[in-house]
Amino acid sequence: MHRIFAAFIMLSLLSPGFLLAQVSSDCATAVPICNNTPVNGGANGFGNDDFNGASSSGCLEQTLSGAIESNSGWYRFRTNATGQLGFNIGHDPLEDWDFALYRSNDCNTLGEPIRCNFFDNSDQNAFIGVGEDPSGQSDSVQYEDWLQVEPGQDYYLLLNNFSNNNSGFSIQFSGQIFEDHPYSALDCSIVNNLLGPPIAACSDETVILDATTSGAITYSWYQDSGTGFTEILGETDPTLEVIEDATYRVRVITGSTTLISNVQVAFTESPVVMPVNDAVFCYTPNMIFDLSQKDAEVLGVQSQDNFLVSYHTSQADAQSGANPLAKAYPVIPGNQTIYVRISAIQNSRCFSATERFELHALETPDLSFETTVHLCYEGQRILIGEPTPDPAYLYSWENGETAAAITVDQEGIYTLTATNTFAGESCSVSRTVTVVASAEPRITGIQVDDLQSNNRVEVFTDAIGEFEYSLDNSPFQPSPVFSNVLPGAHTLVMRDVHGCNELSEEIVVVGFLNHFSPNGDGSNENWHIEGLGFLEDPVVTIFDRYGKLMQQLTAPSEGWDGTYNGQPVPASDYWFKLSYRDSTGNRVYAQYIQNHFSLRR
């Protein structure tokens, strides 16, 4: 961001005599500008064509006059230092002004402009120029790049009024050159006058005109406020203190000559920054704060037509007018001090930068706890809510508790609200957590589809909940179906997906017929269990419905033929148990196997 230092400014709010004194429509009579010259003007006719019928000069094109110049004004200045230079041309936002700046000391050899702007004013901006828009608009198409200048460089500045409406304009110089050399950046030797160049002053300044001349015998002073010069009676000193707008004349009589010199003096009202209230609001990401809403507070009863309000991030910038903030200001969370500057549009040296205010961008609390938690067993107490509370925030639950985290032992929906409060402004956010009781995993059965070398095994459960399954330490899966399972004993783990409960069981993958018919027809004569050979020391015990032992089978067995002590048993349902030795050598009974079958005659 370039720095801006306002050198001077003066609008055309003076009497017609003053106005015409600072306007020249032709290059040859361009108005000289130096540090204290009140630069104001307007359109004073189309003027002579200084471009000899050319169709363009830089960006300027022929206008309503049929030539490049249209209601034009010409000014000239000479730099007296090294540094960065710019200028702001203030005007009525409803008018369309253009400019071209030439580096030349001769109107006959202007060449092409080094800075030029011909954009229309469809956005109704109040300034055009070089450098930075003092209103804080950072992307204005009506501003050209800064100049880097050296001492002794001569420039001509042409202003055109394309809209053909004339409410006047002002020229305010800016840039680092005026910060380093506030009273000598522009060479005043181009103005030849005993009383010096015209003076732009602030209402709280003292202006003393000095006509001290060697050999002077008498001094007499005169004042013209628009109706002609009249003598100021009683003023006979070589200096005169003035307090009002006018053109002043001194008549100095020496022993041999009489000197007469005129100077224009214009005062601008010095503004006052009114107290500004702090702004407190809830911050949201990428938030933009409209600083212009503070303008009315800053101005009070002062008219916005006469004063320019700008905002800065340091007191030094507010004093110098440097780095004005964009009115659409990107806010950062937390507190920030904004420094206020109010300057007169007529003369930016007349300013006040005594006030500041705070932007309190309150952060809305961030609640990030889990929104669903599970009670793993009846009577369990769990902690819900914000685990790392901010002591600056207030917390409240619907049940009236005010801790950031609370302990619960019941299913339900619980809502926590966190509030950040400052200076009467509150920023709140709520987050709801659902407490769910997790179900106990339970296996009710195992189904093996057609026992073979690689089997499809499905686990059945009547538990209600979300579960996942693992077989022989395989990765957990949501499906209770396993494929390519070998016959034999396996370890099945069923667990709640929320990590609450886990059930680990040994299951046996075998196969058997649910009925057999030992009737001598050669089909299904014996009942047996397939896959026993994959178990260690298996024993199958068969009972009738009264618990009477019918038969015991082992792995190398042809099965049961439906007899007891060599005699056929009646058709009925029979039960069995399967035991085997597990990996620890203990004899265990296989679970989850449908343990009955039918004998049919």
Summarize pLDDT for 408-455 with one digit per residue, the tens: 999 999 999 999 999 889 999 999 999 988 888 989 888 888 677 788
Q: Judge whether residue 484 has pLDDT over 50.
A: yes
Q: Report pLDDT for 589.
A: 92
What is the pTM for the complete model shown?
A: 0.55
Q: Report pLDDT for 301.
A: 95
Q: Judge whether residue 5 has pLDDT over 60.
A: no
By three-state DSSP, how is residue 453 classified?
coil
Q: Judge whether residue 14 has pLDDT over 70.
A: no
Q: Which residue has the higher pLDDT, 441 or 9?
A: 441
Residue 94 lies in a domain: yes
Which domain covers residue 236, as residue numbers?
204-268
Residue 198 lies in a domain: no
User: Using CA of residue 229, residue 234, residue 235, residue 236, what is the dihedral sign?
Assistant: positive
Confidence of residue 46 (pLDDT cuts 50, 70, 90): low
Lowest mean pLDDT across 99-108, 125-134, 162-171, 391-400: 162-171
Q: Report pLDDT for 2.
A: 30
Q: Report pLDDT for 195.
A: 87
Do residues 394 and 300 share a domain? no
By C-alpha distance, which of 179, 249, 241, 236 is closest to 209?
241
DSSP-assigned letter for residue 559: -
Do residues 502 and 533 share a domain? no
Do residues 297 and 356 share a domain? yes
By C-alpha distance, which of 505, 506, 456 is closest to 481?
456
Query: What is the number of structural domains in the chain?
Result: 6
Query: What is the C-alpha separation between 158 and 111, in angstroms, rounded?
Result: 13
Residues 390-409: tens digit of each pLDDT: 999 999 999 899 999 999 99
Q: Judge whether residue 11 has pLDDT over 70.
A: no
Confidence of residue 38 (pLDDT cuts 50, 70, 90): low
Query: What is the C-alpha separation between 321 and 8, in angstroms, rounded?
Result: 12
Q: Report pLDDT for 3.
A: 26
Do residues 479 and 502 share a domain? yes
Enclosing H/E stretch for 324: none
CB 22, CB 31: distance < 8 Å:
yes
Residue 527 lies in a domain: yes
| Average pLDDT score over residue span 518-540 | 91
Residues 219-261: tens digit of each pLDDT: 999 999 888 899 999 999 999 999 999 999 999 999 878 888 8
Do residues 208 and 70 share a domain? no
Do residues 490 and 522 share a domain? no
Q: Which residue has the higher pLDDT, 53 or 152?
A: 152
Do residues 238 and 345 share a domain? no
CATH number at residue 586: 2.60.40
C-alpha to C-alpha distances, 541 to 444, 555, 567, nearest whole angstrom: 22, 12, 18
Q: Report pLDDT for 438.
A: 85
Query: What is the C-alpha separation between 80 and 102, in angstroms, rounded?
Result: 17
- Tell me how far the alpha carbon of residue 439 is from its chain's centroid: 46
Residue 118 lies in a domain: yes
Confidence of residue 520 (pLDDT cuts 50, 70, 90): confident
**CA within 13 Å, CB half, 518:** 17
Confidence of residue 1 (pLDDT cuts 50, 70, 90): very low
Lowest mean pLDDT across 70-79, 94-103, 181-190, 464-473: 181-190
Q: Report pLDDT for 503.
A: 92
Do residues 334 and 406 share a domain? no
Beta strands 216-224 and 246-254 are: antiparallel
Q: Judge whether residue 577 has pLDDT over 90.
A: yes
Do residues 503 and 591 share a domain? no
Query: What is the C-alpha separation between 156 and 492, in angstroms, rounded?
Result: 94
Residue 175, burial from CB neighbour count under 10 angstroms (0-12, 13-18, 19+)? buried
Do residues 56 and 169 share a domain? yes
